[in-house]
Structure 1
Amino acid sequence: MARRRSRPLSIIALSGIAILCIIYFLSSSHSSSKARVRPPPAPGGAKSIVHHQMDGLTSSYRPLAHKERVLILTPITRFYDEYWNNLVNLNYPHDLIELGFILPRGREANQAIQRLDEAVNALQTGPKKNRFSKVTILRQDFDSPFSQSEKDRHALSSQKDRRAAMARARNSLFSTTITPTTSWILWLDADIVETPATLIQDLTAHNKPIVVANCYQRYVDHGESKIRPYDFNTWQDSEAAQKMGQMMGEDDVIFEGYSEMSTQRKQLAHMYAPGKDVNEEVAVDGVGATALMVKAEVHRDGAMFPSFPFYHLLETEGFARMAKRLGYQAYGLPNYLVYHYNE
């Protein structure tokens, strides 16, 4: 009798165990299925690899047709509304333009970065058609070693330290902001307050590796509006300057535009002929960077702004010499004018 009573209990127990096993295997199978569909993200992996076809990147005389991206770079210590308004009014599509700025440490630069931040934020939160593709603002880890007054900036005694500091800033700026999609780099000084709205199209149309506009300055003389040459860093070399360099020590630098150094170089600033062809080109050996258009490949190939004496040249003039050693000829546009702020 006892055995008969225990059989139903055994059957119930076995049935319960079987049901539990089925539930376990079903739940285990469901979980593993979910794990295969949604694997946890792993560090790195295929999605972190980006391919860029650099052989398809162009920098041509028709940048709009090829949707070529332009990087506009500006070292800045003072913020001028006229500079910003002129920049915003450039009519190359803003979605193909990236901006890069670099500022030194110091009180004056603190004020400039505040105004720059305000201007950038207002523009980038405004109408979409006016926004630039990207804006990068860098802060140097060293102070500006010179006064920002026009008189002090251009004193011969301050040139070596000033130009070396500018070279360091420019190198930091382009090396940080250039991307695999950059076709052109436009160096535009922070005190350039007037250019044609077609500046980018005009300079790229020459399809030169390096091309620079002629920088002048507007002023008033006895109630009459006039213009005068401003930037003297773009020039054609001379035998006198070459002989001067041969007699110098390796750390000495030749600076253009000073009576103390009679280089006899032919300066772009003095080649301007009113009413003549604005597209005229002349080969040059030194360049300024008030409005300097450079094919990005020139920088990618290693041309930078020497902060040390390079063939007795510094910064932008040294850049032109370095680029030429790499096989890139620079050109100036004597009759294409841009204008510098007049203090």
Structure 2
Amino acid sequence: MSRSFRRSNPITIVLAGILCIGFFVFFFSGGDAPVIGKNRGAGETASNPLSPASLPFRKSKANAPRVAPPVVHYYMNNLTTSRTPIENEETVLILTPMARFYQEYWDNLAKLSYPHSLISLGFIIPKTKEGNAAYAALQAQIAKTQSGPKPKRFAAVTILRQDTENPLSSQAETERHKMENQKVRRAAMSKARNSLLFTTMGPTTSWVLWMDADIIETPPSLIQDLAAYDVPIIVPNCFQRHYDKEKKTSIIREYDLNNWIDSPTAKEMGAKMGKDEILLEGYGEMPTYRSLMAKMYDPSADPTTKIKLDGVGGTTLLVKAEVHRDGAMFPPFAFYNLIETEGFAKMAKRLNWESFGLPNYLVFHYDE
């Protein structure tokens, strides 16, 4: 058979076409890798302690054969963070450093209207007397919720116990907010936040919602409300409900002063500081003249108003998981003279991620 005949043989052409099609199907199909964020069954669990942290793990019986650790491929391009997170089944990781347990915090968490099957919870609790009490109370509520109706159960819950030394003798609000305690306190908070984040964020996490343990009231639609802005970092305005004994009336007052727009004065102060010194907000001894989002609240204004921020607080903070994956964490050291959540906003900005705030969208902090 001549060479020219073999090249023009229809059978050869058909076989070559099949091989080409097979190659393209193999190359673009993604193999047997999971499609992140899709078709997550409520009963899906990890089969081994080394399985991804984003799945709940159930221990096998003592005499059961040990299951081999799985090998799983994740294609991160399949992970979305969109304005419609429920429709796209985007998973949310809610992280809470907890020194005290407030029942109102848990009740508010349980009322969130975002599908609980798409929410994982993470806590870090110090090994102190107060921390042990918080741990016991939290465990009781978790057991009650996770054994209740399936729609109310969370996808996974992780609790870390913190062995590091607590820099403060008390968690009372007056002690926590003393100016001389801020650097050591917030450095310890940064370490706790980072430990919690690095331990719990899995490859299927789309959003990370930081919520302090003393946030006791938010709209049930909090997650989808904040995600709808489709920005890397966003914070609502944190207030307190307070009873004014002098006026004998209930009022609301601003609480979180770490959401701010920078000022020339603050920049000049930072330029004159040593590399290990930090700027603090809300103290008369250190007037920065920054524009505080807490002071911008207007009950008659548009609740959807969004502003750009240079510093953020962590009382309630929604972050696209890719921001953390890109390297933005909470510096426990002076980072451009900022620390913890404010340092996080600065670090994120250095990585080209912007922060935003909602001055007229309120969440409420426990009033001590």
Same fold (TM over 0.5): yes
Indicate yes or no: 2:281 matched with 1:256. yes
CA distance in 1, matches of 2:208, 2:157: 14
Indicate yes or no: 2:347 matched with 1:325. no
Relative distance call for 1:244 and 1:53 in structure 2 (3 A) is: same
Equivalent runs, 1:12-23 vs 2, <5 Å: none
CA-CA distance at 1:144 after TM superposition = 2.0
Aligned residues: 301
- 2:189 aligns with one of 138, 146, 166: 166
1:287-329 deviation line (CA, Å, top 9, x unaligned): 0011100000000000000000000000000000000000100
CA distance in 1, matches of 2:97, 2:341: 13
CA distance in 2, matches of 1:42, 1:316: 42
CA-CA distance at 1:225 after TM superposition = 1.2
CA-CA distance at 1:281 after TM superposition = 0.6
- 1:226 aligns with one of 241, 251, 258: 251
- 2:146 aligns with one of 115, 124, 129: 124
Indicate yes or no: 2:213 matched with 1:190. yes
CA distance in 2, matches of 1:43, 1:223: 64
1:30-56 deviation line (CA, Å, top 9, x unaligned): xxxxxxxxxxx9996xx8310111101
- Structure 2 counterpart of 1:285, one-letter code: D
CA distance in 2, matches of 1:143, 1:81: 26
CA distance in 2, matches of 1:164, 1:324: 20
CA distance in 2, matches of 1:275, 1:121: 42
Indicate yes or no: 2:298 matched with 1:284. no
Indicate yes or no: 2:103 matched with 1:81. yes
- 1:59 aligns with one of 81, 99, 116: 81
Poorly superposed stretches of 4+, deviation over 2 Å? 41-44
- Structure 1 counterpart of 2:217, one-letter code: E
- Which residue pairs with 2:291 in the alignment? 266
- Which residue pairs with 1:152 in the alignment? 175
CA distance in 2, matches of 1:151, 1:42: 51
Normalising by structure 1, we get a TM-score of 0.86
1:254-304 deviation line (CA, Å, top 9, x unaligned): 010000001010011011111211111100000001110000000000000
Normalising by structure 2, we get a TM-score of 0.80
CA distance in 2, matches of 1:275, 1:162: 37
Unmatched tracts of structure 2, length 5 or more: 1-64
Relative distance call for 1:203 and 1:106 in structure 2 (3 A) is: same
Counterpart secondary structure, 1:307: coil
Relative distance call for 1:42 and 1:89 in structure 2 (3 A) is: closer
CA distance in 2, matches of 1:258, 1:311: 19
Equivalent runs, 1:75-114 vs 2, <5 Å: 75-114=97-136
- Structure 1 counterpart of 2:179, one-letter code: L
CA distance in 1, matches of 2:300, 2:89: 32
- Which residue pairs with 1:13 in the alignment? none
- 2:227 aligns with one of 188, 197, 204: 204
- Which residue pairs with 1:48 in the alignment? 70
CA contact (8 A) 1:92 1:201 kept: yes
- Which residue pairs with 1:304 in the alignment? 329
CA contact (8 A) 1:283 1:331 kept: yes
CA distance in 2, matches of 1:43, 1:132: 25
CA distance in 2, matches of 1:248, 1:333: 31
CA distance in 2, matches of 1:277, 1:239: 28
CA contact (8 A) 1:106 1:143 kept: no
CA distance in 1, matches of 2:66, 2:240: 58
- Which residue pairs with 2:202 in the alignment? 179
CA distance in 2, matches of 1:135, 1:332: 28
- Structure 1 counterpart of 2:87, one-letter code: A
Bigger fraction of residues in helix = 1
RMSD over aligned Cα atoms: 1.3
CA-CA distance at 1:143 after TM superposition = 2.8
CA distance in 2, matches of 1:65, 1:91: 13
CA-CA distance at 1:223 after TM superposition = 2.6
- Structure 2 counterpart of 1:249, one-letter code: G
1:159-193 deviation line (CA, Å, top 9, x unaligned): 00000000000000011000110000000000000
CA-CA distance at 1:127 after TM superposition = 1.0
